[in-house]
């Protein structure tokens, strides 16, 4: 058989039988019955797995133990054959050095991976034979890309990685951190208080979620953050489920010039000489600057194709390092929802589909170490509540995100209480890397809808402290250190 090494398979089984539990534990993390290409070897490995799974593991593995396990597994008939009896005796008599056991195991595991890859590519090839020509280019390319992407989990199972002591090399690592200090670990969104609340910007391999009710301005927020990130040299891909590229052009240009969006999209900006010159000059300068801000409309696109688009963008626009991780970039996903009803049935509900989408998005971010800035709709509880219960769709969305914040309109009372410090608020709810956020505190934001611009202000508590200093003429001393204690989440 191709992609097979019977001698190495025999050496692995002989080593396990010879060393007992120690030998089994040395290779159990990388082997399974399908790793073996010979039926006799596969069945014997099943029997050995059964033996070592028992509460009382025998000190010595002998032929009688194997037959007993085969009987319990319903495989005794197979081992009663004369050829199998001779094969089993040969395994027990096969000489193998204990130090070579894992080497042989890794070899047959790599051959197993090669067989899986070959079979996966064969299935992809068969799918191409069913194409009619009515499919989109993304769909056609996605067949091959999905076949490869779905195999990425095998990278962690190749038999060459083992658990490492947590503190090995920690001195050298800490010295490196001290010699290479950074202001923050993640990519800044242009909203400093929000960056702080999530643990120092958008970190690689994280999904950062912001939820809002309809028509509050989450798409404007995504454009403001996305433009700021790209303007500072980090490539951004805006995966948009609702709006056209032209809509984002109108809004981004209005944001940069603080001119009316309506004047730009209707072309009436030409009737105002000052506005006309400002917009045309800004447009020319922006195009010349070649800001790495890309947009893709994914309305109606199956989620598998969306992942294929993101992978191709990373390959063509961003690039990878020697370890296969993407270079610095951000993917903005606006917003998490089902594109079609495909896949929803009595057995698969909408919330389950959303959960699978979030799982795939999280795995994508982890696989390529890319930060994802995601947006989502809040359910009706989001009108009054400010906790994780307001997330629409699935608990899995909250489980797998690194942080979750709520963007909403401020009430008239809040606007008055804050002294006109903005008409929106950003409420950090949970964060895996950020400090614990004080209850009833929020980040003031001001949205100028006419020009699609959102700016971050002070937090509510900062404003309150400054008002107190202004009114009383001094700052109340804090207990202990100068800084507030930081209590990390989870």
Does 102 lie in the same domain as 189? no
* The pLDDT value given to residue 171: 94
pLDDT band at 466; cut points 50, 70, 90: confident
Does 216 lie in the same domain as 100? no
314 close to 308: Cβ distance less than 8 angstroms: no
pLDDT band at 1; cut points 50, 70, 90: low
Within a domain: residue 95?
Answer: yes
Does 219 lie in the same domain as 89? no
How many Cβ atoms are within 10 Å of 415's Cβ, its own excluded?
17
Burial of 169 (0-12, 13-18, 19+ CB in 10 A): exposed
Q: Which has more pLDDT, 473 or 423?
A: 423
Does 187 lie in the same domain as 101? no
Within a domain: residue 431?
Answer: yes
358 close to 336: Cβ distance less than 8 angstroms: yes
pLDDT band at 350; cut points 50, 70, 90: low
Give yes or no for residue 8 having a pLDDT over 80.
Answer: yes
Helix axes 137-149, 101-129, angle to 10 degrees: 160
∠ CA 235-367-144 to the nearest 5 degrees? 90
Give yes or no for residue 270 having a pLDDT over 80.
Answer: yes
Query: What is the rounded CA–CA span in Å between residue 89 and residue 482?
Result: 74
Among 43, 71, 106, the domain boundary falls at 106
Within a domain: residue 191?
Answer: yes
Report the pLDDT averaged over residues 22-40.
88
Our separate counts of H helices and E strands in the chain read 19, 9
370 close to 327: Cβ distance less than 8 angstroms: no
Q: Residue 459 belongs to what domain range?
A: 183-472
Does 355 lie in the same domain as 466? yes
Among 87, 106, 125, the domain boundary falls at 106
pLDDT band at 293; cut points 50, 70, 90: very high
Within a domain: residue 124?
Answer: no
Give yes or no for residue 248 having a pLDDT over 90.
Answer: yes
Burial of 43 (0-12, 13-18, 19+ CB in 10 A): buried
Q: Say which CATH number the domain at 10 has.
A: 1.10.860.10
Does 298 lie in the same domain as 203? yes
Query: What is the rounded CA–CA span in Å between residue 152 and residue 167?
Result: 28
Among 106, 130, 154, the domain boundary falls at 106
Q: Where are the alpha helices (DSSP H) in 232-335?
A: 245-257, 261-266, 273-289, 303-313
pLDDT tens per residue, range 111-153: 998 888 888 888 888 889 988 888 877 778 778 777 766 665 5
Handedness of CA 302, 305, 311, 316 (dihedral sign): negative
Within a domain: residue 234?
Answer: yes
Does 201 lie in the same domain as 80? no
Burial of 181 (0-12, 13-18, 19+ CB in 10 A): exposed
Within a domain: residue 113?
Answer: no
Does 91 lie in the same domain as 188? no
Does 242 lie in the same domain as 93? no
Query: What is the rounded CA–CA span in Å between residue 246 and residue 18?
Result: 70
* The pLDDT value given to residue 335: 79
pLDDT band at 333; cut points 50, 70, 90: very high
pLDDT tens per residue, range 183-234: 888 999 999 999 999 999 999 999 999 999 888 999 999 999 999 999 999 9
Q: Say which CATH number the domain at 459 has.
A: 3.40.50.300
pLDDT band at 485; cut points 50, 70, 90: very low
Provide, rounded to the nearest whole percent, the portion of the chain with pLDDT above 90: 46
Give yes or no for residue 17 having a pLDDT over 80.
Answer: yes
Does 88 lie in the same domain as 227? no
Average pLDDT over the chain, rounded to an integer: 85
Within a domain: residue 235?
Answer: yes
Within a domain: residue 412?
Answer: yes
pLDDT band at 159; cut points 50, 70, 90: very low
Number of domains in the chain: 2
């Amino acid at each position: 058989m191709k992609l097979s090494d019977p001698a190495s398979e025999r050496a692995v089984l002989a080593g396990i039988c010879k060393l007992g539990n120690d030998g089994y534990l040395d290779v159990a993390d990388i082997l399974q019955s399908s790793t073996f290409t010979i039926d006799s070897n596969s069945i014997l490995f099943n029997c050995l797995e059964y033996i070592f799974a028992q509460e009382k593991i025998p000190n010595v593995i002998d032929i009688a133990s194997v037959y007993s396990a085969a009987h319990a597994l319903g495989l005794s008939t197979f081992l009663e054959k004369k050829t199998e009896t001779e094969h089993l005796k040969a395994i027990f008599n096969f000489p193998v050095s204990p130090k070579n056991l894992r080497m042989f195991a890794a070899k047959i595991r790599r051959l197993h991976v090669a067989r899986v890859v070959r079979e996966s590519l064969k299935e992809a090839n068969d799918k191409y034979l069913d194409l009619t020509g009515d499919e989109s280019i993304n769909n056609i390319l996605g067949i091959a890309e999905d076949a490869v992407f779905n195999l990425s989990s095998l990278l962690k199972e190749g038999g060459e990685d083992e658990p490492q002591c947590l503190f090995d090399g920690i001195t050298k690592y800490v010295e490196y951190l001290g010699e290479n200090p950074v202001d923050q670990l993640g990519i800044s969104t242009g909203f400093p208080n929000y960056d702080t609340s999530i643990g120092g910007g958008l970190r690689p391999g994280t999904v950062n979620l912001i939820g809002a009710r309809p028509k509050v301005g989450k798409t404007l927020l995504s454009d403001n953050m996305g433009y700021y990130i790209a303007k500072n040299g980090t490539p951004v891909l805006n995966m948009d489920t609702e709006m056209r590229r032209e809509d984002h052009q109108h809004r981004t240009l209005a944001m940069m010039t603080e001119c009316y969006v309506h004047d730009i999209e209707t072309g009436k900006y030409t009737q105002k000489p000052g506005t006309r010159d400002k917009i045309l000059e800004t447009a020319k300068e922006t195009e010349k600057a070649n800001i790495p801000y890309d947009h893709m409309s994914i309305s109606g696109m199956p989620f598998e194709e969306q992942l294929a688009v993101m992978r191709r963008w990373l390959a063509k626009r961003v690039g990878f390092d020697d370890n296969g991780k993407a270079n610095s970039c951000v993917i903005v996903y606006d917003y998490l929802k089902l594109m079609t009803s495909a896949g929803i049935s009595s057995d698969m509900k909408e919330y389950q589909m959303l959960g699978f989408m979030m799982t795939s998005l999280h795995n994508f971010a982890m696989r390529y170490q890319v930060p994802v800035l995601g947006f989502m709709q809040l359910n009706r509880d989001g009108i009054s509540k400010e906790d994780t219960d307001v997330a629409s769709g699935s608990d899995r969305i909250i489980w797998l995100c690194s942080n979750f914040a709520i963007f909403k309109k401020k009430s008239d009372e809040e606007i008055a209480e804050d002294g006109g410090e903005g008409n929106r608020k950003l409420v950090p709810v949970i964060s895996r890397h950020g400090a614990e956020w004080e209850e009833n505190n929020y980040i003031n934001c001001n949205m100028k809808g006419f020009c699609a611009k959102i700016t971050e202000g002070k937090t509510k508590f900062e404003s309150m402290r400054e008002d107190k200093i202004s009114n009383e003429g001094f700052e109340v001393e804090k207990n202990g250190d100068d800084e507030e204690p930081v209590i990390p989440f989870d």
